[in-house]
Each structure stands twice: as structure tokens, then as C-alpha cells.
Amino acid sequence: MTVANSMMARRAFLAAGLALSGLCALPAQAGTPAEDFVASNIQKGLAVLNDAQLTAEQRGQQFEQILLGLTNMKRIALFTLGQYARTASDADKADFAAAFQDYAVAVYRSYLGNYAGQSLKVVGSTARGPDDFIVDTVMVDPRNGNAQSPLHVNFRVRTDSGKPELTDFSVAGVWIALSQRDQFVAFLAQNKGDVKTLSAHLRQTASQYR
């Protein structure tokens, strides 16, 4: 992965970390099940971020539990492999899914404390299909007053597994999983489709965030 792509990946995960960890939720109103799913998990993130009795490590661990509980990491990981998911062995895909999860959690946690105090509000949703929804939210930093427009953060929620799951995030119009897929596919194209090499790269990158 080139330096430019690595920087893009970090910015993408920074944006996703902002969407998940910068949670100071406004009171949620009843909406669609997908909207309620997003709003309720925002409240969980808020409680963790603002719990002064927790150490930074404890906040990180509890945030990881929330993140893994509402996100299907394996599904996202395999999606980011693009066409290489069809040719990789089951063992390589399982190892990559574990490496991807380790990478994602490490990057999210590295930015965990940077966005406390911001407010996020669900403003609506769109059904892409009977089990596929885009939940629209806006996030505002109260310290900026009206100086800046609120940041738009969208969440893709799928229910085809039998329960709601977050499968992607869009921050300021950039879909994170789609961005990661482009970067990982480019990396694999440069490395003869070797998924093991990508897994090792993600683990190395994760260690740099700890």
C-alpha cells in the first residue's frame, strides 16, 4: 500500500471513528427500527465516553464491545476484499477477517477521546430495499457555535441476517467500506493477490496505533 493510500486509509478510519466515538447524542425520538437502532447505540457510546469513573483503557475496551456488538466485522472485511474474496482460501479469509477487526478496533480506539462533547441527531432514513436502510444523521460541535455547517454522517443498516447490523458509514459523503475496498484491492493487485500479505500489513498498521 502506498504512503498516499495509507494516509487515505487513516483518514477514512478517522472519519469512521468520529462517527462512532464522537457521540454526545441528542434525545432520540421514536422513528423507524433502523433509526432507533442507530439512536440507541449512540446512547451507549455516550455513556461510555462520558463515564469519568472509567479509565482510558476501560473506556476503550467497552467501546470495542459496543462496536463489535453493532457491526458485522466479518461481513465488512470480506466486502473490502472485493473480487479477491472469491479466490482466497477459507483459512486466508478467516485470518484476514481477524486482522481487519484488530485493525479497525485499534484505529477507532486511537481516536476515541478526540470527539467527546459533540452532538449527533438522527434526522431521517431511506429504505434501499426491504432489509437495507440508510440512516441520516448530523453532528455538530457546540464549541463552534454556528460557525460551521453540521457534519453529515450516514449509517447503512442491514437486517437480512435477522437483526440490525451496521455495515458501512458515510462521513461527508465518503463511504468508509467502499473506500477501504478500493484501497485493499489496489494493494492486492500490487502484491499478486496475496491476502496473507494484506493481513500482515493490517496487523502492522494496527500495532502502530497502540
Distance between CA atoms of residues 117 and 113, nearest Å: 10
The pLDDT tens digits along the chain (210 residues) read 554 455 445 555 544 554 444 444 444 445 789 999 988 887 787 677 778 898 878 887 888 888 888 888 999 999 999 999 999 999 999 999 999 999 988 877 765 555 666 667 899 999 999 999 999 988 767 776 665 677 788 999 999 988 999 998 887 788 989 999 999 999 999 999 999 999 999 999 998 876
What is the domain extent for residue 106? Answer: 3-209
- What Cα–Cα distance (Å) separates residue 170 from each residue in 54, 90, 118, 195? 30, 29, 17, 26
How many domains does the chain fold into? 1
Backbone angles phi, psi at 168, to 5 degrees: -165, 160
- Kindly tell me the sign of the dihedral angle through the C-alpha atoms of 46, 47, 48, 51: positive
DSSP class of 24 = -
Describe the strand order of the beta sheet including 174-175 as a list of residue ranges.
119-129, 132-140, 151-158, 165-171, 174-175
For the whole model, what pTM was predicted?
A: 0.77
CATH at residue 88: 3.10.450.710
Distance between CA atoms of residues 134 and 52, nearest Å: 33
Q: DSSP 3-state assignment of 166? A: strand
- What Cα–Cα distance (Å) separates residue 73 from each residue in 50, 78, 161, 162, 166? 25, 9, 13, 16, 9
Q: Is 129 exposed, middle or buried (0-12, 13-18, 19+ CB in 10 A)?
A: exposed
